[in-house]
Amino acid sequence: MQREILQQTRALYPVSLHGVGLSLGSADPLDAVHLRTLSELVGAIEPLFVSEHLAWGSVDGRFMNDLLPLPYTEEALRHTASRVRAVQDALGRELLIENVSSYLEFNASQMTEWEFLAALAAESGCALLLDLNNLYVNSQNHGFDPRHYLSCMPAARVREMHLAGHGVKCIGARQVLIDTHATSVCAAVWELYAAALEHLGPVPTLIEWDADLPSLDVLVAEACKIEQMQRLHRAVAA
Amino acid sequence: MPSLHELQRRFAAALFDGTDASAAADICARGIDPAAALGIYRRQLHETFRRALALAFPVIERLVGAGFFIKLAREFQAAHPSRCGDLQRIGVPVAAFLRDRFQAGPYAYLADVAALEWAYEESMAAPAAAAFDARELAGIDCAHYAQLRFALHPACRLASSAYPVLQIWHANQPCSPATEVIDLASGATRVVLLRPGERVRFHRLGEAEFALVSSLASNSSLGVALDAALQADAGFDLVPVLRRLVVLGVFTGATLPLDARGAPFSGLAPTAPHI
């Protein structure tokens, strides 16, 4: 049934297929069944983009079905790049890789998240899906300048952007931002979006709001804001 | 430096098994206790799993209550952690888990309710397919009907129970009244699930009808399936039942082995092709 609904949608609109289950950064072997199923779906839907996350979610065959952050090491970079290449070879097309929200970092990391992401794109030939809410959440949780992260992104490789809302959790005296997709996009992320339009151009942008859904007009208003900002960017750039 | 595999193994152990010590030493969270940072992911692990289970088994959640459902989900996840990236697959062993969990006690019926809910999920997720057209039988010599094998529609599922599980299912939908007393001894359930359009439909079957379809579903020939139905009911009348099943869309096709040279099928009258 879900397939038919997707095919009906595809007949009317371009579709961006967004995966969460490939566990690209996992040390486990790639799940051949999952990849084959994805490949069949891509063949049937012919989407505009196919994307996955810079994350892992399984080890030793046990899946956590979450988008867990990687240690940003040389080993993880080589491993993830080879897996991205394998997926791109299997699908016969470019994959977009998205940055994820994180609430901790690995001591073993040898580079920053933005250095890892840019190096992954260079080594694997993948494109990028930049989630500005995830970028902002991490900048607050880990203490870096989100604009610097943005400026390090290879503009020619960013094909899509995501915006979303987040929640705040207090742990002791600290506040941790949690990616929830359950509320409106905050002002700081909208500001980051304006900066991203400058640096990356008006690429297709999605509002991710898939929990505690608002009334449709609230969601439509957020989408309209994207359109307005992109139109303004084009007018100024012209 | 620990390898990627070692870091991930320790992280997963902290989440699943609560053995934080080594994983906590691997991470930092800008002044937050590493155990608390791992706790964020541990809560997500259990909450994501529970939500996915509740989506597939809303009737079970309503029957046992949200609080006990959380406890059941944790027990189930410990025994049957997700084994793939597709969370929709975690429901496969739920009925067997509940059967083992509640044994023959007063909640033994929950396993059969779960089996019905999973059949519903599978029917919903199955691809669409054109139903079998009985006119395709026209070219087949009815002497060979006993050897026909029917392909069941991909969205067709069967469910049976000693309990009135379909009544329980209907009484526990979001729009159902809050209270309805159902006597667990009020009768068995035999049902076929089909999805002719966007919605799954339930159709009750008699004991012999269910025996026939179950046998056909396990790829038995029509002759063998008829024997199963006749065992359940010596007075079973095949033609109207087969006609009903075809009209409902239970089948997508019928095939005859190329070397079919069996004895004439005595259970089918010469008019049988016109089902």
pLDDT band at B19, cuts 50/70/90? Answer: confident
CB-CB contact of B251 with B131 (8 Å): yes
Confidence at B266, pLDDT banded by 50, 70, 90: very low
Per-residue pLDDT, B259: 66
Domain that holds residue B200: 128-275
Q: How far is A136 from chain B (nearest CA, A)?
A: 16
CA distances from B89 to A6, B72, B140 (A): 20, 17, 40
Structure tokens at B81: 């952690």
Whether residues B26 and A107 touch (CB distance < 8 A) is answered with: yes
Beta pairing, strands A16-18 & A49-53: parallel
* B161 and B273, same domain (yes or no): yes
Query: B1 to chain A nearest CA, in Å?
Result: 7
State yes or no: pLDDT of B92 exceeds 70: yes
- What ipTM does this complex have? 0.96
Amino acid identity of residue A49, one-letter, is F
> What are the pLDDT digits (tens) for B206-251?
999 999 999 999 999 999 999 999 999 999 999 999 999 999 999 9
d(CA A53, CA A97): 5
Q: What confidence score (pLDDT) does residue B157 get?
A: 98
Considering the domain A2-237 in this protein, what is its CATH number?
3.20.20.150
CA-closest candidate to residue A132, choices A66, A179, A72, A183 = A179
Q: Is residue B122 part of a domain?
A: no
pLDDT tier, B139 (very low <50, low <70, confident <90, very high otherwise): confident
On whether both B67 and B175 belong to a single domain, the answer is no
Give the number of domains in chain B.
2
- Euclidean distance between CA atoms B151 and B168, whole angstroms: 30
Residues 6 or more apart whose CB falls under 8 angstroms from that of B91 comprise B53, B56, B57, B117, B118, B121
Final residue of a structural domain among B47, B76, B92: B92
B115-129 mean pLDDT: 95
User: Residue B260 — pLDDT band, cuts 50, 70, 90?
Assistant: low
- Selecting from B36, B44, B81 the residue whose C-beta is nearest the C-beta of A66 gives B44
The answer to whether residue B176 sits within a structural domain is yes
Average pLDDT rounded to a whole number, residues B44-64: 97
Q: Provide the shortest C-alpha distance from residue B37 to chain A (in Å).
A: 6
pLDDT tier for residue B268 given thresholds of 50, 70 and 90: very low
User: What integer pLDDT is reported at residue B272 of this predicted model?
Assistant: 41
Helix, strand counts (H, E) of chain B: 11, 6
Chain A, 10 to 69: residues with Cβ < 8 Å from chain B are 20-23, 25-27, 31, 33-34, 37, 56-66, 68
Q: Which two structure tokens, joined as six digits, stand for B255? A: 């095939």
Q: Could you tell me if B242 and B139 lie in one domain?
A: yes
The shortest CB-CB distance from B195 to any of A1, A26, A34 is to A1
Answer yes or no: do B168 and B251 share one domain.
yes
User: For B141-198, what is each residue's pLDDT tens digit?
Assistant: 888 889 999 999 999 999 999 999 999 999 999 988 877 899 999 999 999 999 998 8
Domain positions in chain A are 2-237
B140 shares its domain with B28: no
Q: Do A103 and B33 touch (CB under 8 A)?
A: no
Are B133 and B241 in the same domain? Answer: yes
Instruction: Verify that B75 and B149 share a domain, yes or no.
Output: no
Would the CA dihedral through A65, A66, A71, A74 be positive or negative?
positive
State yes or no: pLDDT of B264 exceeds 60: no
CA angle (B57 as vertex; B208, A16 as ends), nearest 5: 110
Sequence-separated (6 or more) residues with CB below 8 Å from residue A220: none
Collapsed DSSP state (helix, strand, coil) of residue A108: coil
Q: Are residues B140 and B273 in the same domain?
A: yes
Residues B54 and B154 in one domain: no
Q: Which of B1, B8, B86 sits opposite A21 (nearest CB)?
A: B86
Q: What is the reported pLDDT for B133?
A: 87
Please identify which residue in the block is written with the tokens 């994180």: A102
Q: Which of B92, B108, B142 is the last residue of a domain?
A: B92
Q: A172 vs B36: CB contact, 8 Å cut-off?
A: yes
pLDDT of residue B271: 38
Are residues B192 and B254 located together in one domain of the fold? yes
DSSP letter, residue B162: S
From the list A1, A70, A73, the residue facing B125 with the nearest CB is: A1
Q: What pLDDT is attached to residue B17?
A: 87
A171/B32 Cβ within 8 A = yes
Would you say residue A85 has pLDDT above 90?
yes
H or E element in which residue A59 lies: strand A56-59
Residue B130 contacts A where some CB pair is shorter than 8 Å: no
pLDDT for position B141: 82
One domain for residues B140 and B261: yes
* Domain shared by B84 and B149, yes or no: no
Q: Could you tell me if B33 lies within 8 Å of chain A, comparing CB atoms?
A: yes
Give the pairing of strands A205-208 and A166-171.
unpaired
DSSP-assigned letter for residue B197: S
Distance from CA of A19 to the nearest CA of B (A): 10
Chain B residues whose CB is inside 8 A of the A4 CB are: 127-128
Q: Which of B2, B9, B86 sits opposite A59 (nearest CB)?
A: B9
Position B108 in a domain? no
Question: What tens digit of pLDDT does each residue of A105-129 get?
Answer: 999 999 999 999 999 999 999 999 9
Question: A227-233: long-range contacts at Cβ-Cβ below 8 A with a sequence spacing of 24 or more?
Answer: A229/A190, A229/A193, A229/A194, A229/A197, A230/A197, A230/A202, A230/A205, A233/A194, A233/A197, A233/A198, A233/A201, A233/A202
**In this predicted model, what pLDDT tens digit does every residue of A173-208 receive, in sequence order?**
899 999 999 999 999 999 999 999 999 999 999 999
| Separation CA A207–CA B130 (nearest Å) | 37
Task: Please say which residue of B43, B67, B92 terminates a domain.
Answer: B92
* C-alpha separations of B27 from A105, B11, B17 in Å: 6, 9, 17
Q: Are strands B189-194 and B201-204 parallel, antiparallel or unpaired?
A: antiparallel
Average pLDDT, chain B: 91
Number of Cβ within a 10 Å radius of residue B222 = 24
Share of chain A above pLDDT 70, in %: 100
Phi, psi values for residue A62, rounded to 5°: -100, 125
Residues B7-21 have a mean pLDDT of 90
**Chain B nearest CA to A31, separation (Å):** 8
- Mean pLDDT lowest for which of A53-67, A133-147, B126-140? B126-140
